[in-house]
Amino acid sequence: MKDQMIVSKQVGRTPRSTPPQDHLIVTIDGPAGTGKSSVGRMLALRLGLEFLDTGAMYRAATARAIDAGVSLEDEDAVAGLALEADFHFDWQTDPPTLLAGGKPYDARLRDDDVTRAVSGVSALAALREVLVRKQKLIGAQHPRLVSEGRDQGSVVFPDANIKFYLHASARVRAERRAAQLQETGRAVDIDALEQELDDRDRSDAGRAVGPLKKPEDAIVIDTSSLSFEEVVDKLEKVVRAQVTLDAPAGGE
Ligand code: DC
């Protein structure tokens, strides 16, 4: 209901008869486990936009620091390694493959040591400065973009055409994560996962620089009782109501 109200207000600003937009940035922010990456990727595919997973950049910076053996509290060293890595994406793959120093880096990003350390590393101001600058540059070079993270609507793309904030209870998010892990044959403790997510939310929201925060003009979607398809449908509907797209649509 709430997002419907916001949508109709914004439709007034952007008449449907406008020509297809060559600049269209859609941001999706929210805590871990709300399905932002999968939703963002599918939304981009349906709308014919490119997709930027900024969490992958923080994970890559973390992996690089761990692998180089530098202290994860040494922000100049961590930021220096990220700068030197010159992160790029190969936009020909789906999802785009993250390259560091020209080499694919994806395989390492979801390892447990990286997942455990990334929230702390992503609080380092010097690192955020490097990655935010890079993300803005990517946005300038790929101006038809769905960008997903924690600070995309608030810091990186404050002028984004449409901002979403996905939310779900920690319990629901833990159950989703457990289902994913069970698929790969791993043992799971839902209570521990819920606690882990809760801790990560607190750390992501409490940091001084680029905290997880709902942008004031974001459309909030509680995904707790929605399926993946329902969430993507909802977002797609909002975007199509507000802008003119020239790319072929995956949906109706
Ligand atoms: O979305 P994810 O789980 O891959 O994100 C990994 C970590 O990176 C998470 O702890 C939050 C952080 N992050 C961030 O601080 N800012 C972003 N724009 C994206 C992710």
pLDDT tens digits, 208-222: 888 888 999 999 999
Q: Determine the topology of domain 24-241 in CATH.
A: Rossmann fold (3.40.50)
Instruction: Report the number of secondary-structure helices (H) and strands (E) in the chain.
Output: 9, 8
156-178 b/e (C-beta count within 10 Å ≥ 16 → b): bbeebbbbbbbbbebebbbbbbb
Atom from ligand 1 closest to the CA of residue 59: 6
CA trace torsion 4, 6, 8, 11 (10° rounding): -130
Question: What gap in Å lies between CA 193 and CA 121, rounded to an integer?
Answer: 20
Question: What gap in Å lies between CA 168 and CA 115, rounded to an integer?
Answer: 20
Q: Does the CB atom of residue 34 touch ligand 1 within 6 A? A: no
**For residue 250, pLDDT beyond 70:** no
Give the per-residue pLDDT at 14.
Answer: 45
Give the per-residue pLDDT at 19.
Answer: 55
Which of 58, 115, 145 should be mutated for ligand 1, with most atoms under 8 A from CB?
58
Question: What gap in Å lies between CA 226 and CA 170, rounded to an integer?
Answer: 15
Q: How confident is the model at residue 136 (pLDDT cuts 50, 70, 90)?
A: very high
The lowest-confidence range among 5-9, 85-89, 234-238 is 5-9
Cα of 48 vs centre of ligand 1, distance in Å, is 24
**For residue 4, pLDDT beyond 70:** no
Cα of 185 vs centre of ligand 1, distance in Å, is 25
Q: Which helix (H) or strand (E) holds 26?
A: strand 24-29
Give the per-residue pLDDT at 102.
Answer: 84
Average pLDDT over residues 130-154: 96
The lowest-confidence range among 42-51, 97-106, 216-225 is 97-106
Average pLDDT over residues 160-175: 94
Q: Does the CB atom of residue 147 touch ligand 1 within 6 A? A: no
Which of 39, 53, 54 should be mutated for ligand 1, with most atoms under 8 A from CB?
54
Average pLDDT, the chain: 88
Average pLDDT over residues 13-42: 81
Cα of 6 vs centre of ligand 1, distance in Å, is 27
Average pLDDT over residues 87-96: 92
Cα of 46 vs centre of ligand 1, distance in Å, is 24
Q: Does the CB atom of residue 200 touch ligand 1 within 6 A? A: yes
Token reading at 153: 């609507």
Question: Does residue 96 have a cis bond before it (omega within 30 degrees)?
Answer: no
Q: Does the CB atom of residue 48 touch ligand 1 within 6 A? A: no
Cα of 150 vs centre of ligand 1, distance in Å, is 6
R_g of the chain, CA atoms, integer Å: 18
Q: How confident is the model at residue 20 (pLDDT cuts 50, 70, 90)?
A: low
Strand 88-90 and strand 97-100: pairing?
antiparallel
Average pLDDT over residues 218-241: 96
Q: What is the DSSP letter of 225?
A: T
Token reading at 100: 């560091």
Q: How many CB atoms lie within 10 A of CB 9?
A: 9
- CA 9 centroid distance within chain: 25
